[in-house]
Structure 1
Amino acid sequence: MKKLTIFMVLLFLVVAAQAQNLLQGRVVDEASGAGIPFVSVGILGTNNASVSNENGDFVLKAPTYPAKLRCSHVSYLTSDRILQESSNSAIIVKLKPASISLNTVTIDPYQGQRILKAAFEKAKTYENNNSYLNAFYRQLTTLNGKPSQIYELFFDLQWSPKRVQGWIAKQSRFAQLDDQAAFSLDNQSYYTFTVSGYLFPDKGGKFVNLNTLADYEINIEKYIEQADQKIAVVSCKYKKGKSNLYYVNSTYYVGLDDSNIYRLENSVFNLPIRLSRASAKFPPIVTTVATFNGAAHPIPVLESVSTKMYLSLNVKGREINPGISSLLTVYNIDNDLKDQQFEALNRRTKDKTVIESIKYDPSFWRNNPIVKQTTLEDSFIKMMESKAAFGTMTNP
């Protein structure tokens, strides 16, 4: 009995020590209390940074106290908070929405086009300037609303305003349930990498860029009053959209004074997708949100990319509705990574093949401060861990 008591005390001390090595919290809207996704969260003066997930939750490595926690989002006022000491409980950060002025009177119908043109021209001068990033990627697949498959990868990335230029997978894991009709989209990370910038190509679909501005109906939806400058929210709708044409409608958040792009939302239409044993009833519904961190950089650097895809399929006479959601978050910028040999982007790269090429390291994933899940992801991951599904590459 005495040995059991000693063991329980030691176990408690280990758990407490692990909790003290993390700073956990949630960023919420001051008025509604709802969690705010894609908030930049970091300790000032350090590289200790992250991005809140879709519930507004974040996890950081515990800082040296006292420390200043900064939370920023393009649609909210920046919050700085002094942290005096460690706490085992999660902290709540309330952000106040920035003032919004609606563009109700169109005095100059070409103002939005000029704002975007200036932003693209500035970005183009940096198009060959690479940044080197540590990033975490998670992809969750659901079938008819039930989680069925998850990929998780840590990457070193070579990024430019065009997109991710190269990658190296450092750690990975994968798990899958086989109790439903099988479906897998195993190169969505490639698609995420391609929409991680804001200088889109002329080919491969219709995107907003310097050469296609006249093809889009461009409007300033509103202005966001930030402390240092106004942010123009500019929507772009393709004028010639057709059911058989791959095109993208976009909304840009652009600083009026610095012509920097801080956020980009895309709705993708008629994305070409190859299905080997299924037929699509409708074109896939695809949306992306990319955020960029402009602090201390000549031009904003990638911070996060969220992608969501929904399909309606017929598989051997059975209807299934897959949903594939992914989130890539950058947690560190390190130019010392540039000497590595990066893998070039290739549409044929399969995520599962990449994962299987790396030995699974369970100790790396245990209590990792970067790996923060939403409630749905958390429940699925815990269930798969209980089945020892990770690392085996077999279906439990």
Structure 2
Amino acid sequence: MLTLLSLSAQAQRLSGKVVDAETGLPVPYASVSVLHSRVGTTSNAEGEFELRQAVLPGKLVVSELSHRTDTVAVASASAVLQVRLKPTAVVLPEVKMGSYTAELIKKAYRQLERTNAQQAYSAAFYRQVTRLDNEPTEIQEMIWHAKSGNTGLAGTAMAQGRYAKKKTVLNFKNFSLYTKKNQISLFKSDTALLKTLLGPNPTELNTLRLLGVTQDGTHQLVEIGFAKKAAPNTEYGSLLIDETTLQVLRYRTVTQALNVRINNPAFKLTNQATTLEWVFRPTPTGGAALLDHIKVDYQATLHRPLRSDMKVQASSFTLLYDGQTKAPADVTYAAAQSGESDLQVIEAMAYNAAFWQNNSAVKRTPLEEAIIKAFEQKGAFGTMLTP
């Protein structure tokens, strides 16, 4: 535990960085939360994080699925805080008899069902990058007011948006739908109808395999792999469950079921595959885990008449930050709509340059230099390129 001394509590802007205690390398997407609360944030790809209005002195709980959770006492925000997380000890899985993995998933599902009504309210930063033959052709960024639960996003309200794009042969109309609409589990009164992995019948359609167990303090994190019985190469993935609290902390799936439809009848998409990953922050109370971030990656091959095939990739990352348990009185959340156009929604909002310049989540997740240079070329347009 790191300890700094202070004289009085006051709200401050706290910046820090999470690194591996052994290698010194940044720890990306680590959970940083205020002790005994549901308020927190996540480190970016470089391990950096920022908490606005942090009440100091105070204590932070810092965790990441491959490292031991640490509690950090902080006195003031006068300097950048460095948190050094120790890697988790890998425990060789014991021989589990029979249906251990299936029973653990059933218990986790029941925990999800019991705590599903516990909602969190936060801001969410969404970034989508489209690439054709590895060349960036489109960026869309949105800030949402987000309502979330222990299975994914439950509703959003648009706050701000911006974009940059080039004229190309293919654009995605509503790629954010994958992020907004998909859930790691469903709940129905007739459980016999549930065919999801995280349900009362996890082995009905899937084969399960124990991938490993890691020790995080007094908690054992169990990773279970799964694959669809009928066609294991078309849908597979893994989930991470805290054996003590039964909270689902990560769910990752690769599927060929989420196919993209294309308007041009002369074009054809093949080899379509979508990877979705949800990561949740554990809560010490054993209630609902908090949605931390969502990743989506789509890849396919585009066939065109008399032209060479083109590699298509669209990827998005959604980071939830500035969370609270009380619903804002002035925000109306809406469920995902299939017919919406992301670009039209962005263009309908008045662009606010100062908003983007001062947004903490945007500052913590800078664009890659190669992407920036790709849109400095002639022919690119959009609000992100406005001086």
- TM-score, L = length of structure 2: 0.81
Q: Deviations over 1:63-101 (max 9, x none)?
A: 45545443211221113334445457x654332111111
Residue matched to 2:199? 209
Residue matched to 2:177? 190
Q: Which amino acid aligns with 1:142?
A: R
| 1:118 maps onto 2:107 in alignment | yes
| Structure 1 residue 375 displacement after superposition | 5.9
Q: Which amino acid aligns with 1:166?
A: G
Greater strand fraction, Structure 1 or Structure 2: 2
| 1:41 maps onto 2:32 in alignment | yes
Measured in 1, the distance between the counterparts of 2:289 and 2:351 equals 34
The size of the alignment, in residue pairs, is 367
Q: Which amino acid aligns with 1:251?
A: S
Q: Which amino acid aligns with 1:116?
A: I
Measured in 1, the distance between the counterparts of 2:310 and 2:148 equals 36
Measured in 1, the distance between the counterparts of 2:111 and 2:32 equals 26
Aligned ranges 1:308-323 → 2 under 5 Å: 308-316=297-305, 317-323=307-313
Aligned ranges 1:160-179 → 2 under 5 Å: 160-178=149-167
Alpha-carbon contact 1:57-1:372 (below 8 Å) kept: no
Alpha-carbon contact 1:288-1:308 (below 8 Å) kept: yes
Residue matched to 1:221? 211
Residue matched to 2:63? 72
Q: Deviations over 1:300-355 (max 9, x none)?
A: 12111111122221244232222222111111124222664322222222211111
Which consecutive residues of structure 1, in runs of 5 or more, have no partner in the other structure?
Answer: 1-20
Measured in 1, the distance between the counterparts of 2:185 and 2:247 equals 10
Q: Which amino acid aligns with 2:18?
A: V
Q: Deviations over 1:270-316 (max 9, x none)?
A: 422102233124223x2222111232562112111111122221244
**Could you say what secondary structure the match of 2:169 adopts?**
coil
Residue matched to 1:58? 49
**Could you say what secondary structure the match of 1:371 adopts?**
helix
- TM-score, L = length of structure 1: 0.80
Q: Which amino acid aligns with 1:133?
A: S
Residue matched to 2:127? 138
Q: Which amino acid aligns with 2:166?
A: L
Measured in 1, the distance between the counterparts of 2:314 and 2:245 equals 35
Alpha-carbon contact 2:43-2:49 (below 8 Å) kept: yes
Measured in 1, the distance between the counterparts of 2:104 and 2:118 equals 22
Q: Which amino acid aligns with 1:391?
A: T
Measured in 1, the distance between the counterparts of 2:29 and 2:121 equals 20
Residue matched to 2:351? 360
- 2:383 counterpart (362, 377, 391): 391
Alpha-carbon contact 1:60-1:370 (below 8 Å) kept: no
Which consecutive residues of structure 2, in runs of 5 or more, have no partner in the other structure?
Answer: 1-11
Greater helix fraction, Structure 1 or Structure 2: 1
Residue matched to 1:158? 147
**Could you say what secondary structure the match of 2:272 adopts?**
coil
| Structure 1 residue 45 displacement after superposition | 6.6
CA RMSD after TM alignment = 3.4
Measured in 1, the distance between the counterparts of 2:60 and 2:369 equals 25
Q: Which amino acid aligns with 2:336?
A: L
| Structure 1 residue 194 displacement after superposition | 2.7
**Could you say what secondary structure the match of 2:327 adopts?**
helix
| Structure 1 residue 57 displacement after superposition | 3.5
